[in-house]
Structure 1
């Protein structure tokens, strides 16, 4: 492994490539009212939820409504060697959408059709602008659901591009395990299909998983075929508070090592609980807590809960507080998903520098507790939430964006969290992706040899570097 990257991830390198007027005119002719060079529209598409605030907006925005639209936009941009930046709902946290080299933002949010539901095979095919909530509303009448749940109502194209996961990953896996096939428009404007609706294949290179997690740097996803699941016969959610974070973490480690098939287990620290209570009008005990969900038959749910309750008691946990009705569960999980916004609102005007490391479950306590200690010592407001059942946790440092010293200290904390995770056999990002913010950390994790392979693939598939350039690694 290389020496850890220095925490110099504050200002991205901005090298805009001009978009010739001839390109803008051609896009305006092709897309009419679905082309915009208005500053307000460009600014909306030139920011996300990351801490980067100084990147200029894209030169223009194209609103695609079909694969043919995406093809034509990419072909025109390729002719002039101008960057293309795919855009879904703008919920990314690591600067994926920012136009660091200029270019055209390609908004696929209007490509929001569920194309086919194959209930017998437990698969569904969607356009990239379909969001996870929209998909689950569509599947509900067939007693089916799609479990990948990153919190934000992200688009499935964006979730594919970042290899997203979320609260259900401990039982159902990530997008990597749940995407079966893709339709992709390449940097040359050609349409290719990868994978099939079959559950497995040994045919050729696994191009589907090459594009999953590529963050828009290899092509634009225009269709996604996904695994879906029957709604569980019984679902119960429980809250358990603990005297200290270490007690909650140890209860989770024992649960996973014992093989309990828990569907969700989320850690929220005391200060985050306080923010959630204020934001969502709840009355949760303001102590470190686990928010859990159990899926299965009534008997298996009861058995799982009894085992976890006993493990929690051994670690000083309180008796479970239950949420058995769909309304109660929805209220709790909505509050959990809004924890980020609750924390940000606790310091008006702040920006959030986030990290989302993931470590082997046996090293979770080592990684998490030292990170909490460092954050406490720093004096910077922060929050902690985690999909701890799979060793993944998030630290969010709430900084004054105009305070250079505070930003630098928060980046140093982020650097220490990531370096610790890598030293423990983990990864620099469990689900947010690399984007701009973690480019140096990816090199630390993968090493120069693997980075050279990635760069070779990028050069081969996108020789003019027009697909979301400046992200993941340097050209």
Structure 2
């Protein structure tokens, strides 16, 4: 918290000349109202709101470039804003400045169905893109749960429930248009599937969380819609049985599209929130994609594997409405869990470990939560070794929050000792900065800092995130 307080002390009033320049550029699309600033000064993290001084709604790359260039002249911070669904404080305005809202910059520029690619403006959301693709026989599979913007998903290197089969934004982003800290526009990559031409700037900006530049256009990979989709759910006597079943099926190479784990607390919460009748035990939720024959074969393999781990039930959900209801309940788990402790707030965190160590990491974390009587749930995209811990805390109880943060710190230390990472998909933001040093070491962080200093010498690009200046 001292880091945040110190940065807040650097906050300075916006120069009136800058405001006049931006008003001339944007007109009514520049807002300084309290309500608009509050909307752009909070995300889904547990941090208190930190408001920008103004919000600029950009409609083009040229407008973003003009805004950033003006802010660079006056040394004013800029924070890109997509849909506000980040979980680690990514969009908070630690030093004030201008929030650049890209949600209205949301046109699908081109769909090249024959090449399995699409190019979109940064404000296009994943659901919007899939609606545009519905008549092409293609879809975009990256699904972090929230209807996030593609620019934000690239900036945070998002993944989600389909990552076990389709990968993350890192693998599925081919090219970007980026506005740099001095207002220049660069393009990284092409629609070609591979390249050996120079430094890989696309990968540099994917996951940079707005600290090196602002992503305004994204070219992504698309995939054929599967001929058949089926889902199944089964319950287990223990979390260890459920996770060990996943480890075995991944090691055997069963090509499941999704495999999600919910502990008994998560199941209890979604039963109450979504009026389901699932057994209140640890469960796995599967989805299978492919031809009718391959889906049946995958399901049969999984059924045999989970039976060897004392699974009970293997209930099918073949109709789209049944599948949608199950996955909607899974995606609503965050909000369902808030009902377990009325008036609470959630500290949500994640880590990722090699698949062989997943059961050990989850069970040790679960025991830690139980020992300290935390109201919590563990939910995971366990097919790729990634899981989330959601801890319900009293926002007015400093000791309660400190206890949750201590559990989180022990979880991350445990994951790093297993050659894992402090965050599989949430990103660093504010919350994971110290863990990043522990994971990569001082020399690697110094290298990251050198890149930041070279590309953003005035430290105006989302300052205070990922690494300390």
TM-score when scaled to structure 1? Answer: 0.97
Aligned residues: 468
Determine whether 1:173 maps to 2:167: yes
Counterpart of 1:436 in structure 2 is 430
Name structure 1 gaps, 5 residues minimum.
Answer: 1-6
Q: Report the alpha carbon displacement of residue 321 of structure 1 after superposing the two structures with TM.
A: 0.5
Q: Report the alpha carbon displacement of residue 9 of structure 1 after superposing the two structures with TM.
A: 8.7
Secondary structure, aligned partner of 1:395? strand
Determine whether 1:190 maps to 2:184: yes
Runs of at least 4 residues off by over 2 Å: 7-15, 345-349
Determine whether 1:39 maps to 2:34: yes
Name structure 2 gaps, 5 residues minimum.
Answer: none
Q: Report the alpha carbon displacement of residue 13 of structure 1 after superposing the two structures with TM.
A: 4.5
Deviation by residue 1:156-188 (Cα, 9 ceiling, x = unmatched): 111000000000000100000000000001001
Partners of 1:466 and 1:427 in 2: CA distance: 28
Secondary structure, aligned partner of 1:140? coil
Determine whether 1:56 maps to 2:56: no
- Once superposed, what is the RMSD of the aligned Cα atoms? 1.3
Counterpart of 1:330 in structure 2 is 324
Partners of 2:161 and 2:254 in 1: CA distance: 16
Partners of 1:236 and 1:455 in 2: CA distance: 46
Secondary structure, aligned partner of 1:16? coil
Task: Give the direction of change, closer, same or farther, for the CA distance of 1:281–1:170 in structure 2 (3 Å limit).
Answer: same
Partners of 1:455 and 1:47 in 2: CA distance: 26
Partners of 1:153 and 1:12 in 2: CA distance: 33
Determine whether 1:201 maps to 2:201: no
Determine whether 1:266 maps to 2:260: yes
Deviation by residue 1:48-92 (Cα, 9 ceiling, x = unmatched): 011111x43100000011111101111111110100000011000
Partners of 1:445 and 1:221 in 2: CA distance: 26
Q: Report the alpha carbon displacement of residue 8 of structure 1 after superposing the two structures with TM.
A: 8.5
Counterpart of 1:19 in structure 2 is 14
Secondary structure, aligned partner of 2:374? coil
Task: Give the direction of change, closer, same or farther, for the CA distance of 1:437–1:11 in structure 2 (3 Å limit).
Answer: farther
Partners of 1:236 and 1:375 in 2: CA distance: 34
Question: Matches of residues 362-373 of structure 1 in structure 2 within 5 Å?
Answer: 362-373=356-367
Partners of 2:20 and 2:341 in 1: CA distance: 44
Larger relative contact order, structure 1 or 2 (CA cutoff 8 Å, min sep 6) = 1
Determine whether 1:295 maps to 2:289: yes
Partners of 2:183 and 2:4 in 1: CA distance: 34
Partners of 2:227 and 2:197 in 1: CA distance: 36
Work out whether residues 4 and 94 of structure 2, in 8 Å CA contact, stay in contact via their aligned partners in 1: no
Work out whether residues 51 and 96 of structure 2, in 8 Å CA contact, stay in contact via their aligned partners in 1: yes
Partners of 1:249 and 1:88 in 2: CA distance: 34
Work out whether residues 271 and 286 of structure 1, in 8 Å CA contact, stay in contact via their aligned partners in 2: yes
Counterpart of 1:3 in structure 2 is none
Secondary structure, aligned partner of 1:320? strand
Q: 1:230 aligns with which of 224, 230, 233?
A: 224
Secondary structure, aligned partner of 2:104? coil
